Amino acid sequence: MKRFNNVFLAAALSAIALPALSADFDGSKPMICSAIEANDCAMGAACQKGLAENLNVPQFIKLDFSKKTMSAGGRTSNIHHHAREGGMLMMQGFENYRAWSVTINETTGKLVGAIAGDQEGFLIFGACTTM
């Protein structure tokens, strides 16, 4: 009976803590994200795949929803649109003739970002934490 009570207590505490953890990735708090893996593609050529840092992708990305900005590598881009749906936080913007889109899983903080330009594209995988 004691084991059941401990398991029940652990499950109850986890159920209480899970919404608090998922709220961290809902766009209500600033985040710092790390780019882990990237794909660099151009029309008519094979994509290069590797660690983000080896493909000249900034290692850290700062998201500030109160300022509606995304910063990386000393550059800042405006977040033109962000929304939440189905447990995902989604952001979009554009800069220097390129459009970008980022999704963050509200439960895990896992990030996927895409950048599309003239006959070129980048796909970035990473993870975020709140600041």
Domains of the chain by start residue, with CATH = 23-130 (2.40.128)
CA angle 97, 55, 112 (to 5 degrees): 70
For residue range 23-71, list pLDDT tens digits in order: 578 888 899 999 999 999 999 999 999 999 898 888 999 999 999 999 9
Q: In sequence order, what DSSP letters do the residues of 73-112 get, joined into one string? A: TTEEEE--EEEEETTEEEEEEEETTEEEEEEEETTT-EEE
Q: Report CA dihedral (31, 62, 99, 91) to the nearest 10 degrees.
A: 10
Question: Per residue, what are the HEC states of 38-55?
Answer: EEEEECCCCCEEEEHHHH
- Looking at residue 2, its pLDDT comes to 40
Mark 66-85 as b/e (b = at least 16 C-beta within 10 Å): eeeebbbeeeebebeebeee
- Looking at residue 23, its pLDDT comes to 52
Q: Determine the number of helices (DSSP H) and then strands (DSSP E) in the chain.
A: 1, 10
Tokens of 123: 């796909």
- Band (pLDDT 50/70/90 cuts) for residue 123 is very high
Higher pLDDT, 18 or 105: 105
Mean pLDDT score of the chain, rounded to an integer? 83
